[in-house]
């Protein structure tokens, strides 16, 4: 990009902007996405469930065979769908598409549309099935049973644990920033905890199996909390729910510890189910708003920032789009949920399709709606929100030369009741875009401030539900690791192992948030997350081959190849262009070492696991050895 003359750059963008401003409406994107996702769920994932994975309700699931009332507990389909969707849908499907708008709306839309179907949902359904058929074990244990190489097991353990801690710290920081000094948001989100406990006790103790009753109670109480929360600021209760960032970090860590220790049916599952109801309701409202308002997409389909040099993402469209938009298309973090809490609660194998594939496709739709909300803002307003005031003023002449001259910034700031300039990170621009759409619905014009704060709270809730599930999964993984030294700790039902592992996990990610160190490692999370997806798809390919399904191995090999090549390339660019230069600056040397070391660990892990899996694939396709049944594979893995 540096070699392109600024005038040519501006001319290209101006032409692109003028073309798109004239005609593009959001509705064709919404209709296309809904149609393709519905057809994919019905036909492609019907094929995956029946032919590739052969899901069978006659096969007992771990939730029944290994029932312990604590972690292994059969949960009804839609309640578990709620938990799974809430756990996987964190910051990624909201923030990633907003930041990727820098490239224009079409690249992100196309990647989410194709990626969610061909990569993300395939990744999720295969890993969940593999875990259910391996006693609900973690991704590391599946590596052990399927690849059966010590090197792969060790590297998978290290890579997975590192990524979970980074993810929890990064997501936790977003929650802390969103709720800091916000009594309204803190009150509403805090209210979901006692409401969830009441729902859990209602469904599993007082009125067993009465999910509808618990849902009605939960929705009524949650709605009351949202409505009443608006009146907390300025009331005598305000001081009870107003905390600074340090205090919120401690509170969040305590919550993560409690959610990890308590039985899944008491807090984790009903709270995530309750949160998913709110999430889906808001997304449904946004979809209705888009349909009613039919906003024009003011961001062009493509911008010359696809060639690099963008103010938000400095890299080129390839490969940086594919690590900026993670959860909306494919996310390695989903493999941790699909081999963590969810497989221990699946009641029947037929539930795997709606839980895994259904949740991923729903998340893809969430991401597309987030993209539309951001792209409906004037580009000048979009950049003014997502850049620091100094950087925006420096870039303003160039943006205006590109054709971005229209602005509605003063009205937007007045409407939401806050100064929104320089609110970087994507969350605020998404909330403004959502509030703008909601306020244009007939009769809603005077409620823009309410909708904006409601959207901010919604984003925080979206992310927080990933924190509790992620902490529990990290606890499972750490217990497996500690079990190598002291076997009783390896049992998920071990109280001492539960307490020690939960405390350590919470301390690790809580420390990063409290000290602010997470800001030095967050930039590499997108790369690490997609590399974990590559690892999971490699493991999924091996699982299919070991099950005698090599004719269908293309379903995981194709997305693995694309995501792997793209992300390894991005990781190499980050090391060369970002992390190594940091080592020469005394002020950034520490962050450079951390970023370089963690990215290197993940890259090495991918190479080791694929290298260990490759001989299995080659032998299978050459028919030199017959495929092993799942019980034979597990028996062989016991010797590792």
Structural domain boundaries of the chain?
6-58+82-121+160-180+243-533
pLDDT score for 631? 53
What does DSSP assign to residue 305? G
Residue 284 C-beta-side C-alpha neighbours within 13 Å: 6
Question: Which of the residues in the chain have pLDDT under 70?
Answer: 1-23, 91, 178, 462, 490, 492-493, 516-523, 624-640
Give the residue carrying structure tokens 């909390």.
225
pLDDT score for 527? 85
pLDDT score for 628? 56
**Spatial contact of 373 and 153, defined as CB atoms under 8 Å apart:** no
pLDDT score for 18? 46
Farthest-apart Cα atoms in the chain, separation? 75
C-beta neighbour count of 54 within 10 angstroms: 12
Q: C-alpha 493: how far from its chain's center?
A: 28
Cis peptide before 319 (omega within 30 of 0): yes
> Tokens at residue 112, please?
């989410």
Give the residue carrying structure tokens 């690490």.
528
> Tokens at residue 185, please?
């948001």
Residues 6+ apart with CB under 8 A from 635: none
pLDDT score for 309? 85
CA distance 521 to 596: 9
Query: What pLDDT, in 10s, does the model give residues 13-30?
Result: 445 444 444 548 899 999
C-beta neighbour count of 384 within 10 angstroms: 25
> Tokens at residue 255, please?
């919550």
What does DSSP assign to residue 423? -
CA distance 441 to 444: 6
137-143, Cβ contacts within 8 angstroms, sequence gap of 24 or more: 137/339, 137/343, 138/336, 138/339, 138/340, 138/473, 138/476, 138/477, 138/480, 139/335, 139/336, 139/339, 139/535, 139/536, 139/539, 140/477, 140/480, 141/339, 141/480, 142/339, 142/539, 142/543, 143/539, 143/609
171 to 167, 312, 359, 523: CA distances (angstroms): 6, 19, 20, 13
CA distance 222 to 616: 51
For the four alpha carbons of 4, 7, 9 and 15, in that order, the dihedral sign comes to: negative
Residues 6+ apart with CB under 8 A from 309: 1, 2
What does DSSP assign to residue 60? P
CA distance 570 to 527: 7
296 forms beta bridges with 25
**Spatial contact of 566 and 315, defined as CB atoms under 8 Å apart:** no
How many residues comprise the chain? 640
| C-alpha radius of gyration, the chain, whole number | 24
**Spatial contact of 364 and 328, defined as CB atoms under 8 Å apart:** yes
pLDDT score for 216? 85
**Spatial contact of 72 and 476, defined as CB atoms under 8 Å apart:** no
């Amino acid at each position: 990009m540096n070699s392109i003359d600024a005038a040519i750059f501006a001319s290209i963008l101006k032409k692109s902007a003028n073309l798109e401003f004239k005609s593009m409406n959001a509705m064709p994107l919404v209709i296309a996405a809904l149609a393709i996702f519905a057809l994919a769920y019905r036909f492609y994932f019907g094929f995956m469930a029946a032919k590739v994975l052969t899901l069978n309700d006659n096969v007992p699931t771990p939730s029944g065979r290994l029932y312990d009332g604590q972690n292994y507990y059969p949960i009804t389909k839609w309640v578990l769908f709620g938990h799974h969707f809430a756990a996987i849908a964190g910051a990624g499907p909201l923030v990633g598409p907003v930041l990727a708008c820098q490239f224009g709306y079409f690249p992100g839309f196309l990647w989410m549309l194709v990626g969610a179907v061909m990569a993300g949902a395939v990744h999720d359904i295969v890993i969940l099935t593999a875990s259910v058929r391996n006693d609900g074990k973690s991704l590391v244990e599946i590596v052990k049973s399927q690849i059966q190489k010590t090197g792969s097991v060790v590297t998978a353990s290290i890579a997975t644990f590192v990524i979970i801690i980074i993810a929890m710290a990064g997501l936790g920081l977003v929650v802390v920033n969103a709720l800091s000094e916000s009594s309204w948001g803190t009150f509403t989100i805090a209210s979901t905890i006692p409401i969830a406990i009441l729902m859990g006790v209602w469904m599993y103790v007082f009125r067993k199996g009465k999910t509808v009753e618990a849902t009605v109670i939960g929705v009524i109480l949650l709605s009351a909390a949202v409505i009443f929360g608006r009146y907390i600021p300025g009331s005598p209760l305000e001081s009870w729910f107003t905390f600074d960032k340090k205090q919120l970090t401690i509170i969040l860590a305590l919550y993560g510890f409690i959610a990890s220790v308590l039985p899944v049916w008491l807090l984790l599952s009903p709270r995530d189910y309750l949160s998913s109801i709110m999430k889906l309701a808001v997304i449904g409202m946004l979809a209705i708003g888009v349909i009613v308002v039919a906003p024009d997409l003011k961001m062009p389909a493509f911008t010359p920032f696809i060639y690099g040099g963008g103010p938000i993402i400095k890299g080129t469209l390839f490969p940086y789009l594919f690590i900026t938009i993670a959860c909306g298309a494919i996310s390695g973090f989903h493999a941790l949920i699909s081999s963590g809490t969810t497989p221990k609660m699946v009641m029947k194998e037929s539930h795997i399709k709606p839980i895994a594939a259904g949740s991923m496709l729903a998340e893809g739709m969430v991401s597309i709606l987030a993209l539309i909300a951001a792209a409906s803002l004037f580009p000048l307003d979009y950049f003014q929100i997502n850049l620091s005031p100094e950087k925006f003023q420096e870039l303003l002449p160039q943006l205006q030369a590109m054709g971005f001259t229209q602005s509605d910034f003063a009205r937007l700031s007045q409407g939401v009741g806050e100064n929104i300039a320089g609110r970087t990170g994507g969350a605020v621009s998404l909330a403004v875009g959502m509030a703008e759409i909601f306020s244009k619905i007939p009769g809603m014009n005077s409620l823009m401030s309410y909708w904006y704060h409601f959207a901010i709270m919604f984003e925080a809730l979206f992310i927080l539900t990933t924190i509790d599930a992620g902490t529990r999964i990290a606890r499972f993984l750490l217990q497996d690791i500690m079990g190598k030294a002291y076997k009783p700790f390896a049992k998920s039902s071990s109280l001492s192992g539960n307490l020690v592992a939960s405390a350590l996990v919470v301390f690790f990610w809580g420390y990063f948030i409290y000290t602010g160190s997470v800001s030095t490692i967050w930039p590499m999370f997108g790369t690490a997350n997609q590399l974990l997806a590559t690892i999971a798809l490699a493991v999924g390919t091996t699982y299919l081959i070991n099950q005698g399904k090599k004719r269908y191995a293309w379903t995981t090999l194709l997305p693995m190849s694309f995501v792997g090549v793209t992300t390894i390339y991005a990781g190499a660019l980050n090391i060369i262009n970002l992390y190594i230069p940091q080592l020469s600056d005394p002020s950034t040397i520490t962050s450079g070492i951390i970023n370089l070391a963690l990215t290197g660990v993940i890259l090495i892990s991918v190479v080791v696991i694929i290298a260990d899996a490759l001989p299995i694939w080659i032998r299978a396709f050459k028919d030199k050895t017959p495929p092993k049944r799942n019980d034979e594979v597990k028996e062989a893995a016991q010797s590792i």
